[in-house]
Structure 1
Amino acid sequence: MTQRSPYPRDQIVGRTFPVDIPGGAPPLYGVDTAFINIVKIPLDDVRSDVRFEFGAANFIWALDATSLTAELSIKFNSQRNSAVPFKKGMSIGPIDFAEVFVSNLAQTGESITFFTVRTAPQFMQFINPSASFSEVSLTKPSVLDTVADVSCANAAATSVLGSFATKRSAMFQNKDGAATVQIGDNNVSATRGINLGPGDVITIDTTESVFVRNDSGAAVDIGVMWTAD
């Protein structure tokens, strides 16, 4: 037994669904519809104006990359055009293009993945939060040193820690039970610098020398600990 469709033949033959207007034709592929292409470009080897075909498009977006420092340059449609640098998150559109010419320095292990599409400019809407971020590298100091207490003579400014380029930070403690001293640079005095009272601790981030001025009437010991790269 043959089962027939309940719908008239002209409603099920020769049409692509969905169609907005009954009897209308489907949109042309790549023209009226969005033609999406995703291309990953490795950056291990150096390039100079190497031709890539992304297909006909008018919007390009570097949607992903192995790092925020990965970078290449693209010329659109012709090698005579100026190159546009691309990093993760960058986008350009609308701009009609069918081919691009890519240049990049050798960046071992790096790559950038591109998203391209051809669609009407008024329909383009891309949320791109990655372009708002930057890469920050944080490293911990590799040196921690505790030195012998420094005795600061009365009525004088004493260097409690010298200067060196790799120093990150230093901690200073007034070990006297009653005296208040001033801490600062080589210009520290009784009226210039930060007061360091009995038992007080201060941390200073600097590569420069640090001095303590003591006008308490007797020598004062200062404890010192510092970190460096």
Structure 2
Amino acid sequence: MIRVLVADDEPMVRTGVRAILSTAPDIDVVAEAARCDEAVRQARTHLPHVAVLDIRMPGGDGIEAAAEIRRTVPGTAVVMLTTFGQDDYILRALGDGGATGFLIKSGEPEELIAGVRAVAGGAAYLSPKVAARVVAHLASGAGAAASRRAAARGRLDTLTTREREVLIHLAAGLSNRQIGRRLDLAEGTVKAHVSSILTRLGVGNRAAAAVTAHEAGLGQP
């Protein structure tokens, strides 16, 4: 059973997220919070597998709360809930917050369940709208777009053929186990490839690697 903490300062959003997650037989919402500091306390108390956090809440900074949860409860993965117009926060969450999942509040319910399951399994999950938004923000301006895409492709050129195959599936939100099944590789081998990919791309987590893949236009499997 995947234990989940839901943190959002809007009661209706928390209720909606809980209701959606309750439809999944393998997910159990064990705690809720309306503030950043409360979310950190609840995570320490309940030790959830996944914390679903609003990217902006009172009582602190949502990204700092994510980072604190990742630091003090390393077994808890973080999914950030975002709205359009919060691109800078998303970029900060990728780097400083250690989040591995990003979802749009107005997205489909199935995305929320898929995102929680993905990060609980050790994968990264980017809502397609979030990925497109981040890439568009990073590449704002024609010249900047070409430059960033060229830079991303240049970083991908440092990967081996197998690592590129692994990255394609990683960017699609698959866990190491799922990637191993697709490519007929041992899970430990996939883990080693992912570690190498992060090092070669110069990124700190799977979500950031997925953004680089999307930015470079790497095809989906």
TM > 0.5 between the two? no
> Which structure: greater helix fraction?
2
State TM-score, norm by structure 1: 0.20
Greater Rg over alpha carbons, structure: 1
Structure with bigger RCO (C-alpha 8 Å, 6+ apart): 1
The structure that is strand-richer by fraction is 1
- Under a length normalisation based on structure 2, what TM-score does the superposition of the two structures give? 0.20
